[in-house]
Structure 1
């Protein structure tokens, strides 16, 4: 492992490193002292930058550094919350604050039609950086997709030219024709980098035909099996807005985990706690 050189980390440099992570670089944690006491204690504002395999900056004592680094790396775990911790060594006590910096997930929508518009809005609300691609100049416009980070006219013979595909990418294929969806799907499955999510619209018949063709062409079976096609959760969606909600729900399910079942069924509050007693549980009793 590569570790830091023990030099102090200036605020400007800490901000630059955080910005690099937010812009798509390696996830990192900014760690800062917010209070301290004891002889030789690091003053408030002392900073470190911590990655999975290295760090920059120091709190002035290797023992404090080791505790701070361990705390910061806990914050690198997906879903970790911001927080503080008190660390100590040699009579010095410091309260440190850890803030993780991850680039936001990306949503690339191929096709700018009736499903793409509500999906772009929902994706932006969920914190995705949204890119919309279409080969029609009247459709790939900022006016149609004001929430998107990027709106680009694309050539569907090379749909992802100039578009970065990474493990943060959630790719949804909703072009005006199944032929374009299939060609875009084939293109991305041939790339070495795997997106976090690939979804493609289409009927059961068209989906089967597309996946069978990809298998005949020798594409990796595991990667084909990971394609979400037909795309979205089964909520009997009919309108473009409902279909967009079903797609977004599936992306959240993949990111966060869960069953996709109604919470009413998984929690069963009525059956477990109310119905057996014939009345509501006394609030003072609490719930197991």
Structure 2
């Protein structure tokens, strides 16, 4: 039998959203007893039980809706024929269920732990929406002191080990490495990781981007993948300081997720032609 709490810990660790359902009260000869628990995933997969039958079927439908509203819900069932709240079950009694949507934080992956990487981390963490993965060859920059509560990877050759990093589906990736010589290998790792990304942005000039993409293609990265990368990174808002640039980058990510990206790309194209 599955341990519900172990499954919850696993889902949270893997960044998987779910709905938690628990029987908070049960009277008489109901199939679901007080304390029965069930976890429901977005695809309808479920673990545990709240009693089975029509009751559980209805609970699964409610859980499905909670993935849209992302909230909580309470429902009382009267399990006897003829009652307005009845599900038509003949076992009798009453059951009360509590539902709670449990979301997960988005993952932001920062390649380059210098001043700009630190600024993006500081600005983004204010939203309390992210878990951070910070990667840099320089341990004096990429460490727990500079990035508390982040998962940090550092050391020589780390940019050639991107496929080994614990990145999740939908990760938001910013590439801010000094010099840019490692960027093609980072892109190769992201490409070979074979997961979807919400955003990939890379700092640098148009010339740096051109050289990086040319090398990335030589390494086997598809042009279709490269076409989705935002480079140069960030909105054009006249930013100069690391924190201003961080805001420009996060603004671009928000614009993408909110559906304003066509406007962003149009403005960028006009800027690049000048």
TM range (shorter): 0.7 to 0.9
Matched residue, 1:122: 123
Cα 1:25–1:244 change in 2 (3 A) is closer
Q: Does residue 81 in structure 1 map to residue 83 in structure 2?
A: no
Cα displacement (A) at 1:25: 5.9
Give the SS at the match of 1:72: helix
Over aligned residue pairs, what C-alpha RMSD do you find? Answer: 2.9
**Is the 1:21–1:101 contact (alpha carbons within 8 Å) kept by the matching residues of 2?**
no
Pick from 39, 43, 46: which aligns with 1:55?
Answer: 46
For 1:191 and 1:161, the matched residues in 2 are separated by 5
Say if 1:220 and 1:74 are closer, same or farther in 2 by CA, change over 3 A: farther
Q: 2:199 aligns with which of 197, 200, 210?
A: 197
SS in 2 for 1:89: coil
Q: What TM-score do the two structures reach when normalised by structure 2?
A: 0.77
**Cα shift at 1:39:** 5.6
Equivalence for 1:163: 165
* Counterparts of 1:232 and 1:20, CA distance in 2: 35
The aligned residue for residue 98 of structure 2 is 97
Alignment of 1:128-143 (within 5 A): 128-143=130-145
Q: Which runs of 5+ in 2 are unaligned?
A: 78-85, 264-274
Structure 1: which 5+ runs fail to align? 1-6, 262-288
What SS class does the counterpart of residue 69 from structure 1 fall into?
helix
Alignment partner of 1:96: what SS? strand
Q: Check whether the contact 1:14–1:30 (CA below 8 A) recurs between aligned residues.
A: no
Aligned residue number for residue 181 of structure 1: 183
- TM-score, scaled relative to structure 1: 0.73
SS at match of 2:232: coil
Q: Deviation per CA, 1:179-237, whole angstroms, max 9, x where unpaired?
A: 22233123322332233321100123322443355457663333212112122233222
Is 1:33–2:23 an aligned residue pair?
Answer: yes
